[in-house]
Amino acid sequence: MGKKQKRTIFLLLGALLVVAAAIAVLLLLPEKEEGGQDGPSVVLTDRPVDEVASLAVENEKGSYQFIQATTGSWQVPSLGDIPLGKNKIYECSKTAAKISATQKVSDSADDNAKYGLDQIQGTATVTYTDGTSVKLEFGDEIDGGGRYFRIAGKDAIYAGSANALAYLTGQDLDLIDLELSPYDSTSSDNLKRAEFQNASGVFVIENIQSQQVTDGYGNFFKYRVSGAAQGYVDPAFFAENFTNLVQFRASSAIAVDPTPEQLAGYGLDAPQSYLLLGEGDSAIKVLIGRADGDIYYAMRDGYPVVFKLADYVVNWLEISPFDILNKYATAPAMDQVREVTLDIGGEKTVLAVTDAATRTGTCNGQATDAKLFGEMYQLLCSARPEEQTGSAQKGEQVAAITFTYNDGSQDVMALFSTESRKLLVQKNGQDLGLARRALLDALKQGAENLQAGKQVSKQW
């Protein structure tokens, strides 16, 4: 199953689970008694969040403090300057202010052993701004999630849900921001530059929106790709995939200040790939280590944190620059072109642009149907490479497409045979990559159909 499919399935399953959970909650909620409270919750503390001075947690995972430095501003000293997740800060502070249980299970200290409270397995101490505090002591885990706990110095024993106790029984890693990219669905267009390094090598995508680049068919190009392949990023590809390429989130944080041995174990001593987003001091670089099943280990450059990333999140690992190219990679806007000459084995077809606005022109001096002329022009612009040249050896030239611009300058797309029966594509003498032999067949058939007044297929 591909990463894109996994991502889609994951999102659909998440939505279904949310709906199912909501239905289950509605079905399982007890009927509200007169004067009673909604839901099976026992509230043990209920203070305003700004009255929480700190939370101190100790358990088998380690210890950490969550401190309100100023009103609404929280710190975790053990994490230093590592960014904390905004939602995580909110949930942790809310949990510390309002501690609740699903039910009271006992009022007797005689039941401590029954619930694992004869040997305390962790504590969480909330200190308030007035100097008072409450300390929770945790026992055994509950089947299905959650723990048994009590307030220190009291006999009553409670059962708490995993969600309600998450930040009281967790670790500082749980509070780290998992958003590794600063770009979201509304800001991805602000990305100026993205540099990818994967199995296809290194390639760069640059924002060119300020240049207002369009082709003769109304496509507006937002980005240009360079590297193993050169051209414009396909608008359809951009719309479907690009946000996912620059907007991604880790599954979890698993280590802070990793040792050299840990880095080697995660494959981050010599990362297999990276993604660099942005420019200058504001740029971020995400390093990808080894794969472990369906996850990858990763680090964001400058953050001493090792993350786990689901494989469907890093879908750019399998993307080549040729996947990104617009199908009509050589497509100059028709209003910039005076004439296009197709030369196949010495047999020439000359298209002269009469009126770019109506996409009309002549073929070898004869007037043509506007629709057919437009289709042929688009076909001529489709001489794009589909894969890297590799070890392919250039044979004889089999075709050339020459675009002559209004200012007299020219671009020449030349096609050469290879021993692999693919075509080597050159632009102005520079190798761009390989295309299928079907391109040459399509050009031959297109020229014949245009002159015969038949439909020209743009597909090959």
pLDDT digits (tens, 9 = 90+) for 372-428: 999 999 898 887 788 888 888 899 999 999 999 999 999 999 999 998 889 999 989
CB under 8 A, 24+ apart: contacts of 207-216: 208/232, 214/333, 215/326, 215/328, 215/331, 215/332, 215/333, 215/381, 216/331, 216/332, 216/333, 216/334, 216/335, 216/337, 216/356, 216/359, 216/374, 216/377, 216/378, 216/381
- Least confident piece of the model among 30-34, 53-57, 144-148, 225-229: 30-34
Of 452, 460, 450, 449, whose CA–CA distance to 423 is shortest? 460
Q: Produce one character per residue of 403-417: b if its CB has 16 or more CB atoms within 10 Å, e if not.
A: bbeeeeeeeebbbbb
Count how many Cα atoms sit within 13 Å of the Cα of residue 249 in the half-sphere of its side chain: 9
Whether residue 245 has pLDDT greater than 60: yes
Strands (E), 3-131: 42-43, 52-59, 62-70, 73-75, 100-101, 103-106, 122-128
Given 3-state DSSP classes, what are the helix, strand and coil percentages for the chain, each rounded to the nearest 5?
A: 25, 35, 35
Q: Is residue 271 a contact partner of residue 263, using CB atoms and an 8 Å limit?
A: no
State residue 322's pLDDT score. Answer: 85
State residue 280's pLDDT score. Answer: 85
Using DSSP, state whether 238 is helix, strand or coil. helix
Whether residue 182 has pLDDT greater than 50: yes
State residue 128's pLDDT score. Answer: 96
- Give kind and range of the element (H or E) at residue 433: strand 430-435
Angle between helices 438-452 and 370-380 (to 10 degrees): 160
Whether residue 257 has pLDDT greater than 50: yes
Using DSSP, state whether 251 is helix, strand or coil. coil
Of 349, 316, 330, whose CA–CA distance to 435 is shortest? 330
Bigger pLDDT: 184 vs 148: 148
What is the CA 122 to chain-centroid distance, rounded? 37
Bigger pLDDT: 28 vs 333: 333
Pairing relationship of beta strands 122-128 and 52-59 according to DSSP bridges: antiparallel
H helix runs in 143-274, sequence order: 162-165, 235-237, 243-246, 260-266
Beta bridge mates, 126: 55, 134
Beta bridge mates, 307: 253, 298
Q: Model confidence at 144, in pLDDT bands (50, 70, 90)?
A: confident
Count how many Cα atoms sit within 13 Å of the Cα of residue 226 in the half-sphere of its side chain: 5
Q: Is residue 284 a contact partner of residue 277, using CB atoms and an 8 Å limit?
A: yes
Using DSSP, state whether 370 is helix, strand or coil. helix
CA dist., res. 258 & res. 39, Å (int): 43
Of 202, 303, 190, 290, whose CA–CA distance to 246 is shortest? 190
State residue 109's pLDDT score. Answer: 95
- pLDDT tens for residues 335-352? 889 999 999 999 999 999
